Amino acid sequence: MKNLQGKVAVITGAGSGLGRELSKVCAARGMQLVLGDVDQPGMEQTLAEIREANPQADAVSLRVDVSKLEDIQALAALARESYGAAHVVFNNAGVSAGGPMWEATEADWQWVTGVNVYGVAWGIKCFVPMLLEQGEGHVVNTASAAGWVNAPGGGIYNASKHAVVAISETLALDLRLAEANVGVTVLCPAFFPTAIVDAERNRPDELADTAPMSEARKLHQEMVRHAVMHGRISAQEIAEMTVAAVENDQFYVFPHKKIKQLIQARAEAAEREQDPFDTMAGR
């Protein structure tokens, strides 16, 4: 979609981090915005920042839990009612829980999978029929470098992001078979400064964190927080890359180029068939 002026962008996870920056970049392109997040105050802050930069920005918002199909159906209805369409759908909301896999609870699996996997699945289910009906559109799914290479301590997150890569590739192939004028992009960044390290603030009470704070879990959390907060590429830069990928009909986006080297090394480990590939080896 070369010209995004006047098109409608739907963005989940818009209340902070990458979602906020995607909202700003889309607004700067002259797009109309439909924003969703479970964090209502955060989303209001996003709207305030957009309108401060561009008082003419046209945006609506809705509090949504992306793990719930009915919430994404309501977001799609809002897009239709407000603008009569949706053109670029950013399935961006994401959370993380870490620690040794044997310490993870059922609630950990339900929470991370619900947001990271079902959030993408429901975005596709609710919006792709709209894109097909209008004859144009683009879907952007936020995956991660963790969708390709696996670091210790992030088992649930890794699994969820591998699923997002698989979903995205399959969606693109399904749309090709359908000869649809709908593009797909899968975003796969490594660590960058974002509020995902504080995702627990939005964790629902019924899926509360009850895993033990073992030394291994504490060490993992400290490592991830340090890596996230010291990321060398900003959320704004990644948002700009991502929207440019939509304009150029680009499927894969790897903001951190070293990840492709790690993917190649993982493929070589698979060829040897001896040991699991260690993403952190040599660091």
End-to-end CA distance of the chain: 40
Residues 203 and 196 sit within 8 Å (Cβ to Cβ): no
In terms of Cβ atoms closer than 10 Å to its own Cβ (0-12, 13-18, 19+), residue 183 is: buried
Catalytic residue among 83, 118, 157, 252: 157
User: Please, how many CA atoms are within 13 Å of residue 230, restricted to the half-sphere of its CB?
Assistant: 6
Strand partners, 130: none
Structure tokens at 152: 């210790």
Structure tokens at 129: 């029929």
> What does each C-alpha distance from 172 to 69, 166, 179 come to in angstroms?
22, 10, 10
Determine whether 118 is an active site residue: no
Active-site positions?
A: 157
